[in-house]
Structure formats: structure tokens, C-alpha cells
């Protein structure tokens, strides 16, 4: 597990999915005298597991699951940023104990970030403040081409693509053939769902309750627009706000800060809300899983004409998938504008008063374009665990076979690195 809260929750979601399956003993391995990285101890909804300080040797094979193995668990390497990851000692200890041929590592990569090196370079320029109209020329310059090649090389290194016993799982809303062609070792799947109970638990509050996970530091910029909108409608909803930092919330009954609570209490609060304002990837997926209306905001950078979204790929990928599925454009336009911090007052007023806003959200939506078992990252991990536990192949052969299968699922032939 890495240091990000979403990384931790994603690994635990994988653990919850694998827990209780026949032949699997679920462990949290941390070496003796090595404290866990920040935030890993919770509060989280932990799967049933054993905490150990040495590799357990009760089985002939081992499967590890981590977030972004190439950063969080890779060994020390030469060059810039070559420090060993915070889980490298444990990863190497597992391989020493079982033998590398008997260990498969699963790396859960960043959600919905399946961009080619050209797209990544364009995004890096955009987020760095380069005017959008000048980006194509900059990418086409000799300097731009060299930077793109350096990015591709570094990306391969820090995703561990040269590791033959590593399954790099990129979950997303729609598969990208261009990404698969550039990085043939990557395995694309549908989302790893949090495991929330969809629907059925929404509670009627009077007034209605909205829940806002205000994690981005620029969340403060939304408060005036939200407050103005709620102040101009009768019987406005009450906004419950959870944030990792103090926010200058308006005084009065419309606003209530919510302290950090255990995962069970949070899930119940999340499911019962009339509307959710979410961020990042895990709360976005939870909003989709529970169902109902939501807004999305992952932060903005800059002011005035230079104002731009921070890491918008999750909402961009979702809206592209929705457009392909025929989801209404009005809701998509509102989500897109709110994610930019624009038209906040108008959108909040519509979300609170216009039934068409809620009706525009699809019910029980799931991504299309992935054949089974790649359509759901949890199901794919089940397949990996079952196949690895019961097969007779060594780790490298097993991983190479899954890489080929993933490419075939996208209609691509096996690349040289997989042969």
C-alpha cells in the first residue's frame, strides 16, 4: 500500500474481494520493527486478515497486492528517484522466501489514467499552465519529442513493466487501444468497485442531507457559490462536510462539519445522502455504485483565464463513457462545469430544485467494452488468484499468458515483450 488514502482503500477493497475464497490465506505482512506508512492503520474497513512480520510459508505460492508496485514496492535502483519503495523490503522478503518463480505481484495502478505518452505530455503542459493553443506546437518541437521519449522511458521504469512476474492492472471506464499498443505489458480492466450496497438505504431527512467530501485544497472556492444557491431556495438541503483540513464554513444550520469516522459509519452516511459531492476515484466509484445524483470536484489550479482543472482524467473518462452510452448531455454538462468550479451557484440550485437533474443519472450503470473477466477488476483478481493457486506454471509464464489474453481481449496481437 502506498501513502495516498485512495491507494490504501483500493488495496483493502481488493482484500475484501479475495477474503474467504478457498485456498487463500489473507495476510498483512510488515517486517519486524518497521512501522506502517502514514494512514495505513485507518480507520478503514479491513478485510479479515492476519498481521505477520515474516512471510508465511504454509503454501507453495504467494500473491502480493499493492498500489503502484513500481513506486511503492520496487527495490532501490540507480538514477533519479531511485530510492526503494516503502514496501520494497517486504516484497523482496517474499521473493527470497518463496523464490521469484513462485511469486506473482499485482500492482493496482492509478484509476482511469490510461494516457499515452503524447497525452500525458499534453496534460503535463496544460496542468503546468502552458496555454492550450500553444501545446501542439510545443509537442511537435524537437524538445517536445525528446521530453515525450524521456517520459515514456521513465513511465516504463516506474510502472515496473520490465518485471516479468508483475501484473500491472489499470482499471478504468473505457479501454484504450492506443495505451495498450504503447504499453503492451499493461492490463486494462473495469473498475475495482468499493463494495458498497447499491440503493435501498437512502434515508429521507427533513431537510434533505447532502454529503461533501471536500478533500482538494481549493474546495474553499466552492463554498460561496453553494451557500448563495442554498440561501435562495426554500427548504434548502443541509450540507455535511468532511475535509482533511479546516474550512471556513458559513455559520447557520445549512452547514455541518463531519469528523473522520470509521468506514462503516461513513458508508451508511454516504448511502443515505440525497446528493454527494465527491472527488478523486474511490468516492466517485462509490457514488456510481450506490446510485443517485452526485457532483464531482477534484480541485482547480490558477485564477482567471489561467484557471484549470487538477487531474481531471477520472471525470473526463466517465463522461466519455456516458456519452458513448447515450447518457443525457444536460447532466454531463453540469458535471463538467462543476468540476471546473464554474457555474457553481446555478448547478447547485438546479440539483436542489429540478427533478430532471436527479433523473438524468443512469441507474445501475456499468462500463462496457471489456469482455469478462476484464470487465471488473475484482472479478479479474479472483481469476488471477484462482489460476495462480491451481496452475502449474512459473510466475513469468503465468503473467505473460494473462498479458497476452488482455491484449487479445482488445483485439490486439501479442507484443514482442510478451512472446
**What does the pLDDT look like over 83-125, one tens digit per residue?**
999 999 999 999 999 999 999 999 999 999 999 999 999 999 9
Q: How confident is the model at residue 196 (pLDDT cuts 50, 70, 90)?
A: low
Task: State the cell numbers at 297.
Answer: 470536484
On whether both 226 and 349 belong to a single domain, the answer is yes
Residue 233 lies inside a defined structural domain of this protein: yes
Task: State the cell numbers at 410.
Answer: 482488445
Task: State the cell numbers at 107.
Answer: 500492482
pLDDT the model gives residue 418? 40
CA-nearest of 255, 261, 224 to 239 is 255
Interval 216-240: pLDDT, tens: 999 999 999 999 999 999 999 999 9
On whether both 350 and 414 belong to a single domain, the answer is no
pLDDT the model gives residue 69? 97
On whether both 23 and 56 belong to a single domain, the answer is yes
Q: Where are the beta strands (DSSP E) in 293-359?
A: 294-296, 300-301, 308-309
pLDDT the model gives residue 419? 30
Residue 149 lies inside a defined structural domain of this protein: no
Interval 28-76: pLDDT, tens: 999 999 999 988 987 888 999 999 999 988 899 999 999 999 999 999 9
Residue 304 lies inside a defined structural domain of this protein: yes
What's the domain count of the chain?
2
Go through the chain and tell me how many residues it has: 419
Q: How confident is the model at residue 327 (pLDDT cuts 50, 70, 90)?
A: confident
On whether both 221 and 184 belong to a single domain, the answer is no
When comparing pLDDT for 267 and 395, which is higher? 395
On whether both 18 and 45 belong to a single domain, the answer is yes
* Residue 164 reports pLDDT greater than 50: yes
When comparing pLDDT for 332 and 20, which is higher? 332
- Mean predicted lDDT score pLDDT of the chain: 92
Distance CA 189, CA 179 (A): 13
pLDDT the model gives residue 20? 82
Give the domain CATH number at 312.
Answer: 3.40.50
Picking from 336, 359, 382, the residue at the C-terminal end of a domain is 359
Percent of the chain with pLDDT over 70: 95
Strands 166-171 and 300-301: unpaired
Pair 347, 337: CB distance under 8 Å: yes
On whether both 216 and 329 belong to a single domain, the answer is yes
Q: Indicate whether this model's pTM tops 0.95.
A: no
Residue 92 lies inside a defined structural domain of this protein: yes
Residue 225 lies inside a defined structural domain of this protein: yes
Distances (CA, A) of 134 to 138, 139, 392: 6, 9, 54
Domain limits for position 377 = 5-109+159-191+372-418
Amino acid at each position: 500500500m502506498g501513502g495516498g488514502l485512495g491507494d490504501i482503500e483500493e488495496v483493502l477493497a481488493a482484500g475484501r474481494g479475495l477474503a474467504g475464497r478457498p485456498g487463500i490465506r489473507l495476510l498483512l505482512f510488515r517486517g519486524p520493527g518497521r512501522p506502517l506508512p502514514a494512514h495505513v492503520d485507518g480507520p478503514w474497513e479491513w478485510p479479515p486478515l492476519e498481521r505477520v512480520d515474516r512471510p508465511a510459508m504454509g503454501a507453495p505460492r504467494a500473491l502480493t497486492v499493492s498500489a503502484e508496485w513500481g513506486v511503492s514496492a520496487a527495490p532501490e535502483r540507480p538514477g533519479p528517484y531511485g530510492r526503494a519503495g516503502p514496501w520494497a523490503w517486504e516484497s523482496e522478503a517474499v521473493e527470497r522466501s518463496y523464490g521469484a518463480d513462485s511469486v506473482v505481484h499485482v500492482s493496482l495502478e492509478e484509476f482511469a489514467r490510461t494516457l499515452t505518452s503524447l497525452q500525458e505530455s499534453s496534460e503535463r503542459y496544460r496542468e503546468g499552465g502552458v496555454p492550450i493553443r500553444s501545446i501542439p506546437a510545443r509537442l511537435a518541437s524537437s524538445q517536445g519529442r525528446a521530453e515525450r521519449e524521456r517520459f515514456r522511458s521513465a513511465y516504463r521504469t516506474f510502472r515496473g513493466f520490465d518485471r516479468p512476474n508483475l501484473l500491472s492492472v489499470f482499471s478504468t471506464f473505457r479501454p484504450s487501444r492506443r495505451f495498450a499498443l504503447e504499453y503492451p505489458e499493461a492490463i486494462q480492466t473495469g473498475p475495482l468497485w468499493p463494495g458498497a450496497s447499491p440503493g435501498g438505504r437512502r434515508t429521507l431527512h427533513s431537510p434533505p442531507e447532502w454529503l461533501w467530501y471536500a478533500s482538494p485544497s481549493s474546495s474553499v472556492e466552492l463554498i460561496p457559490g453553494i451557500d448563495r444557491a442554498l440561501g435562495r431556495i426554500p427548504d434548502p438541503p443541509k450540507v455535511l462536510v468532511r475535509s482533511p483540513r479546516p474550512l471556513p464554513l458559513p455559520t447557520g444550520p445549512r452547514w455541518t462539519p463531519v469528523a473522520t469516522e470509521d468506514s462503516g459509519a461513513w458508508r451508511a452516511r454516504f448511502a443515505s445522502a440525497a446528493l454527494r459531492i465527491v472527488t478523486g476515484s474511490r468516492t466517485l466509484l462509490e457514488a456510481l455504485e450506490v446510485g443517485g445524483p452526485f457532483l464531482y470536484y477534484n480541485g482547480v489550479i490558477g485564477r482567471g483565464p489561467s484557471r484549470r482543472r487538477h487531474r481531471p482524467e477520472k471525470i473526463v473518462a466517465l463522461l466519455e463513457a456516458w456519452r458513448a452510452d447515450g447518457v443525457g448531455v444536460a447532466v454531463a454538462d453540469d458535471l463538467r462545469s462543476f468540476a471546473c468550479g464554474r457555474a457553481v451557484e446555478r448547478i447547485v440550485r438546479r440539483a436542489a430544485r429540478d427533478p430532471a437533474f436527479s433523473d438524468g443519472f443512469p441507474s445501475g450503470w456499468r462500463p462496457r467494452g471489456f469482455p469478462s473477466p476484464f470487465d471488473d477488476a475484482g472479478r479479474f483478481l479472483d481469476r488471477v488468484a484462482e489460476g495462480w493457486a491451481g496452475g502449474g506454471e512459473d510466475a513469468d509464464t503465468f503473467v505473460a499468458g494473462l498479458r497476452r489474453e488482455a491484449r487479445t481481449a482488445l483485439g490486439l496481437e501479442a507484443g514482442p515483450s510478451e512472446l
